[in-house]
Every structure is written in C-alpha cells, then in structure tokens.
Structure 1
Amino acid sequence: MRLVASDLDGTIVGPDNKISDRTVRAFRDCADAGIDIVFVTGRPPRWLKPLSEALGHAGTVICSNGAITYDLGADRLIKAQAMSLPDLFSAAAIIRELYPSVRFAAETVDGFHLGPGFLEAGSEELPGTATPAPLESSLTDADTVVKFLARVDGTSPDDFLQRVRPAVAHLVSTTHSAPAVALLEMSLQGLNKAVTLADYAASRDIDSADVVAFGDMPNDIQMLQWAGCGYAMASGHPEARAAADKVAPAFADDGVAQVLESLLRTL
C-alpha cells in the first residue's frame, strides 16, 4: 500500500460535513507511515473545508469527478479538464427531450452557473451570489466548465442515469452521487475519477496494484475497479459494492478507518 485514494461524502464525510476523530487518526497514521494520500471527490474546490479543517490535509485533491486537480495547501488549481460548450448544449437538448421539466447548472473553475429552478431561492446549497439564468446566456467561451448538472423531479437517481447516460454518451461522461435526488453529473467525455487518479499515481511512480481506494456511489465505480484494492462502503450504492474488490464496514461504523487500521498493522 503506497497510495490511499478516498472519496469524501458518504465515505469519510457525513451529512454534517464532519469527519470522525477515528478517521482523522487513521489518515494521519497513514501519512506518518509514508503513505501518499489523495482525496477524490465530486465536490468543487470551494467545498473542501472538512479536509483542511479536520484532517489538516495540504496535498492534492482530485475534484469534480476528476475534472480538477487541486493543491489544497497552496489553494491552487493544478489542472482543469473542461467540457466544450457545443457538447454541453447538445447534451442539454437531448436530456430536455427526455425530461421536459429538467433544470440545469454548470460548475466552472471560477464558480457556479445556475439555471432557472435548479435550486430553490434561499437554499443552503446556493453558492455565493449565483443568480439564476439560462446557461445559454450565462456561459461564454471564456468559461472553463468542469461539471454539467441536470436535475429532475418524479424519478429515481438510478432511473434518471440509466435513461440519460446512453443518450448522451457520445458527448459527455455521466454519473451520479446523490442517493436520494435525481441529479446527474456530467463531465468531459471519457473522464472519470479513475482517469485522473491514474495520472496522479503515475506522476508519483505508483502502480495501480499499490493503490487502495474507498468509495460509495456510482461516480466511484471506475476508481474502485482501477485500484489494486477497491473498497466500497457497506452503506454505499449496490452498484459500487458490486464493482469493488472488497466491502468496508458502513460509514456510520468508521469503515474506512477500520480498514486502514487493519492494513497499517500488516506493514
């Protein structure tokens, strides 16, 4: 074990946006043992406070499902892999035909573009001073779009994904990570967490066989499959559990910490 790669939400970060003391200790013990640590999340860089505040992590974070590589300690963007606006708008048109009431939003390296109705006014999820406007009017060629979001009511996240993904596969990569909200996350075609994690590991001369990865949702599947040993959380999505080599105890039981403690004892 030379590298530990971990998802955040539902894996080590709870709904309260906190990381347990046991999990913090386990990651610090890994760092003390000389093991490289990288966090791989769907979150944008502005939502990484749990890592800096609880863990004191000052290293690399792979954000936005692989679209952004970020130096948390230096608060610096290392790399962004952007979608093209023509592909984004073509995908939007296809999704709108399938789900006429769909709402859209887009993450860029500089902030958030919010389509009408995507979030309710006053929502805690509303970032900064984002003002709702059609993406066709708010996005320009100067924007580096790293994630395109689609949200709809009246269906499940899995059904939404299963219907949309094949329809837009020639344009974008599509996944989801919200357990109870029909919210799709789209990025550059062919991009996912595993692609960027593999690049990071290669830059450290670390083979996939020496990587242990943790995740809980469909957006973690490729990462769990790529790693030498991928652990899905027992509390995670069935498809993530099916894709992983092993299943870690549930999030509520500090499953990642339990596995890391056990692995460290074998070093």
Structure 2
Amino acid sequence: MSDWRPRLIASDMDGTLLSSDDTVSAATVAEIDRWRDGGVPFVLATGRPPRWMHRIRKVLGAGTAVCCNGAVLLDLETFEITHEEPVHPDVLRSVTDELRRRQPGTWFAVEYGLEFRHEPIYKPRWDVDAPGVAEATLEEMVGQPVAKLLARHEDLPRDEFVALVEEVIGEQATVTCSSTDALAEISGIGVTKASGLAAVADRHGVGPEDVVVFGDMPNDIAAFEWARNAGGRAVAMAHAHPDLLAVATDVTVGNDEDGVAAFLASL
C-alpha cells in the first residue's frame, strides 16, 4: 500500500486532530490545506454536537462535520444542519426508565441539534453557562426526538458503566463512549461515525476503500472497521484506547505531536 492515497480524509477531533490545548496546530492546518488544494475533502467525525463547532469552523472554513457520533451532518460553511438521525421518544423512555431502575445514580442529558438539556443533578463538564444549555426534567427531555442521549454515573468505573448501558439497551439503540469518565453516548439504531461518514463519502462519490480515518477512542471503532474492511486506512493515535488500536491498520504519533499531519505527509 506504499503508493496508496486517499480520496477523502476523515478525522476525530478531541485527542486526535486537536492538541491538548484544544487548538489545531499550524502544521496540521497546512497539511490539511495541501490535500484540500489537491481536491481531497477533509471531513470531521466527532462526538461533539454542532454547537461546539464554531471554533473549528474558523480554522477549516468549509467542509462537513459528522457530529454527535454520526447523528448530525453539519455544513461548516453555512453552519446549517443538513441531516439528522434522531433517537425517538419511545426508545428514550424505555432506556432511561430501565437504567434508572438498574442504577439509580444514573443521570441524563440530551442533545437537540444546537441545544443541550440536562437534569439539575447532572454535572456538565463543559460550557455550563453557554447559550442553548439549560436544565430540564427527564420527562421534558424524553418527550421529543433527540440527536443523542447521554447517561452519566459519578461513581462507577467507565467500562463497567458502559457495559451496563449496552446490556440494558440491547438492540434498541447504539451505545458508544468517547470519554475517560463513566459517560455513555446513545444514538439511534445503526447510527455511528461510520454511517455518517458513509453518507458524506457517497456525496463525494468516494467509497470506504479510498478513505483514511483518524481516531483515538471507542466511538471511532465503527468508522475504523468501515474503512479497514474495504481496504481503506484506519489510523489510531499512539495513545489510543486499546479497543481501537486492535482494529487499526496504522498507528501515528500523538495529537500533541501532530499525528494526523505526520501520517498524511508520509503518504
């Protein structure tokens, strides 16, 4: 594969494209621009919601962001949501009722496009006072479709809690994790970064065999397998979660060492 070159580049943000200080280095921006100037689209694939994409929009200027682990496609140039795959209220009620019964210390929050709602006892880690962020009761939150349901536990270990959520949900929805905390991210059935990237790649007339995907956490596994199984490249950061390293085709240096740019330059 020494002469292999991608026709589409996709990257996770936190722990991958972004440095530890939440910025993108000048070297990484220059490398991305070099590929885009050559006609290769660059796509973000992140667990972040659209409301967290304003700063990266200023850096990249245009392109598509696959947000909320594949549930939302965002046009960065116009900042318009072009597609959503929501979780419906009947699933939300079933899941939250059973999780609360099994683990009463589970607290919930939801992403609605550009807004975020959380139970009063839920402790958001970021943008607590930002526009679009507000408290709500669980009944209010599960009364309409959402892009993503978040379940958090303050005491259980991360992997134990995520395994419990997966057991409770079964085939009702898709569960993943991109945090070091006990935080499970719940999307609609079959909704993953892979499904979102497949939709974007199709718009560009590109198949997974011509895609390179970068990531560092378990919520990147579906996208890695989508590219790898077709002959594309799935590139893990050096510090990536062991489950992701197990399905990677390649490993690059860490995000603070411009791992994305380093690998792209090697091609």
TM above 0.5: yes
Name structure 2 gaps, 5 residues minimum.
1-5
Residue 140 of structure 1 pairs with residue 147 of structure 2:
no
Match of 1:229 among 215, 226, 233: 233
CA deviation profile, 1:60-95 (whole Å, cap 9, x unmatched)? 111110000111101111001111111011111121
Residue identity over aligned pairs, in percent, reads: 36
Matched residue of 1:11: which SS? Answer: helix
Asked if the contact 2:110/2:141 (under 8 Å) is kept, the reply is no
Distance change >3 Å, CA 138–CA 94, structure 1 → 2: closer
Letter in 1 for 2:149: F
Is 1:31 aligned to 2:36, yes or no? yes
Code of the aligned partner of 2:18: V
Q: Which structure 2 residues correspond to residues 1-267 of structure 1 after superposition, within 5 A?
A: 1-54=6-59, 56-119=60-123, 124-128=127-131, 130-141=133-144, 144-179=145-180, 181-227=181-227, 228-263=232-267
In 2: Cα distance, 1:206 partner to 1:52 partner: 23
Deviates more, 1:230-239 or 1:10-19: 10-19
How many residue pairs end up in the alignment? 258
Secondary structure of 1:5's aligned partner: strand
Contact 1:45/1:70, CA 8 A, preserved across alignment:
yes
Q: Deviations over 1:203-248 (max 9, x none)?
A: 2211111000001001000101111110011111111111111111
Is this contact kept in 1: 2:114–2:132, CA < 8 A?
Answer: no
Provide the C-alpha distance between the structure 1 equivalents of 2:169 and 2:142, rounded to a whole number of angstroms.
20
Q: Is the 8 A contact 1:214 1:233 kept in 2?
A: yes
Query: Does the CA-based 8 Å contact 1:113-1:130 persist in structure 2?
Result: yes
Residue 241 and residue 125 in structure 1: after superposition, are their counterparts in 2 closer, same or farther (change >3 A)?
farther
The offset of 1:123, in angstroms, is 6.1
Aligned letter for 1:75?
F
AA at the equivalent of 2:158: P
- Residue 175 of structure 1 aligns to which amino acid in structure 2? T
Instruction: Supply the AA of the counterpart residue of 2:137.
Output: P
8 Å contact 1:67–1:81 — kept in the other structure? yes
Unaligned runs of 5+ residues in structure 1 are none
In 1, the alpha carbon distance for the partners of 2:214 and 2:160 equals 24
- Report the Cα distance in structure 1 between the residues aligned to 2:209 and 2:130, rounded to whole angstroms: 39
Worse-matched range after superposition: 45-54 or 228-237: 45-54
